[in-house]
C-alpha cells in the first residue's frame, strides 16, 4: 500500500489574507501571493492538500457554517484559476466562550488539539509522520507536533506576532507558504 502523505494548511493567514475581523464573506477572499503556486507544487508532488481551520466566528455569532462553505468555495475557485486545488477541508466552529449554545464547548478539533488532523488522516489513509502542518499560529504547530507531523511556521497572517512563541525550538520558519514549500518540502 502506498504511503499517503499530506500537507495540512491553516487557511486564514497562510492561504488567504486574514482580514481584521473574521474572514467569512466571499468578497474577503484574497489569496496571499505565492500560495496558489505553493499548492500547485504540492499537488504535482503527490501530496494530499488539506485545509484545517479554526472558525470560532461561528460560535461567537459572527457568521454561520454556510458562510465558511461559501468562502472555501470561492477560495478553491480562485486557486483553480492558478492550476491549484485543495483535496479536503476541515474546520472547527467551536469555542469555549461562544455565544451560540451548540458551538460553545471545549472540543478535540479546535487547534491546538489535533482532532481535524486525526479525522483527515483516518478518512484519507494518511501517514501523519510523512506529512506536514503549516501555519501562522503557535496552535497550528502544537496540533501538528502532537500527531508527529513535521511542522513549518510562516510569517504571513499572525506569524510575525506569534513567531516569538517558537523561541528555542527547531521549527523551521518561512516567509510565506511558497517559501515553506520550496525550502522544506519539495
- List residues with catalytic annotation: 10, 12
Encode 3-44 in three state secondary structure. CECEEEECCECCCECCCCCCCCCHHHCCECCCHHHHHHHHHH
The CA distance from 51 to 135, in Å, is: 10
The CA distance from 48 to 42, in Å, is: 8
Pairing of strands 150-154, 173-174: parallel
The CA distance from 24 to 79, in Å, is: 17
Opening angle at CA 138, ends 13 and 9, nearest 5: 45
Phi first, then psi, for residue 51 (nearest 5°) are -90, 130
The CA distance from 30 to 48, in Å, is: 22
Amino acid at each position: 500500500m502506498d504511503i499517503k502523505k499530506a500537507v495540512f494548511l491553516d487557511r486564514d493567514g497562510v492561504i488567504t489574507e486574514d482580514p481584521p475581523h473574521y474572514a467569512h464573506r466571499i468578497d474577503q477572499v484574497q489569496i496571499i501571493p505565492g500560495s496558489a503556486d505553493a499548492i500547485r507544487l504540492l499537488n504535482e508532488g503527490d501530496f494530499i492538500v488539506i485545509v484545517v481551520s479554526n472558525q470560532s466566528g461561528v460560535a461567537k455569532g459572527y457568521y454561520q457554517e454556510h458562510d465558511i462553505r461559501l468562502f472555501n468555495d470561492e477560495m478553491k475557485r480562485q486557486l483553480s484559476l492558478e492550476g491549484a486545488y485543495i483535496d479536503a477541508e476541515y474546520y472547527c466552529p467551536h469555542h469555549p466562550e461562544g455565544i451560540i449554545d451548540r458551538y460553545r464547548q471545549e472540543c478535540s478539533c479546535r487547534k491546538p488539539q489535533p482532532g481535524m488532523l486525526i479525522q483527515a488522516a483516518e478518512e484519507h489513509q494518511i501517514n501523519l509522520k510523512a506529512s506536514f502542518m503549516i501555519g501562522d499560529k503557535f496552535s497550528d504547530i502544537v496540533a501538528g507536533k502532537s500527531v508527529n507531523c513535521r511542522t513549518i511556521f510562516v510569517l504571513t497572517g499572525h506569524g510575525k506576532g506569534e513567531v516569538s512563541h517558537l523561541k528555542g525550538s527547531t521549527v523551521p520558519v518561512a516567509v510565506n507558504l511558497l517559501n515553506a514549500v520550496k525550502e522544506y518540502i519539495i
